[in-house]
A and B are shown apart, each in its own frame.
Chain A
Amino acid sequence: KQEVTQIPAALSVPEGENLVLNCSFTDSAIYNLQWFRQDPGKGLTSLLLIQSSQREQTSGRLNASLDKSSGRSTLYIAASQPGDSATYLCAVRRAYSGGYQKVTFGTGTKLQVIP
């Protein structure tokens, strides 16, 4: 059974700092890994998706890396801004024969960027 853990559970940083969010998973046979952000009372917004064959993906100030063998992914946020305050979730997808896919979410990291 896939278990996905995110550390830390909560993080508070001053504006402008670079920061790293961690995601670890127990089953390395994944199809892809996706990072989301969720603002309070809102839905999930996709940030980055990394296929199992990729090592990293970048979008603006965000960089996500994937190390399948060790079961880890990191989300790096450069020059953090108050608008980055949200809960960040990683989701691991595994594909099975017949097209069946199972998606397991991490526990989330609640980020607060202080102006």
Chain B
Amino acid sequence: NAGVMQNPRHLVRRRGQEARLRCSPMKGHSHVYWYRQLPEEGLKFMVYLQKENIIDESGMPKERFSAEFPKEGPSILRIQQVVRGDSAAYFCASSPSRGQGSPGANVLTFGAGSRLTVL
């Protein structure tokens, strides 16, 4: 089990370009969460998805940001027309559905993060 895989690990974009961050959850996990961490700050919830559904996007900025978790393939966090303030580490976490497996299996597992730098 490879764990939660995020790529790219590091991404550099110029202002106005698009950034796409990918997250492959752990095998068998159907819940994906995206968080943003600004330098020297805590984790801020962005969006929570299940396969083909956005469950909670209350933490997503209203413009330029979108997320998806298609039936096949990884979850994608997309940032259009990036600005310097988007520079941050973006973390993805996954977990199984409630009730799957043993209670100890409901661990929230994080990827290593994608660090976006906007020049």
Contacts and interface: CB of A to CB of B under 8 A. Distances in A.
Interface of A: 31-32, 34, 36, 42-46, 49, 51, 89, 91, 93, 95, 99-108
B108 A34 contact: yes
Interface of B: 31, 33, 35, 42-43, 45, 48, 50, 55-56, 91, 93, 95, 97-99, 103-104, 106-113
A46 B107 contact: yes
A105 B103 contact: no
A10 to B, nearest CB: 12
Nearest to B97: A99
A30 B106 CA distance: 13
Contacts of B113: 42-43
Contacts of B45: 103-105
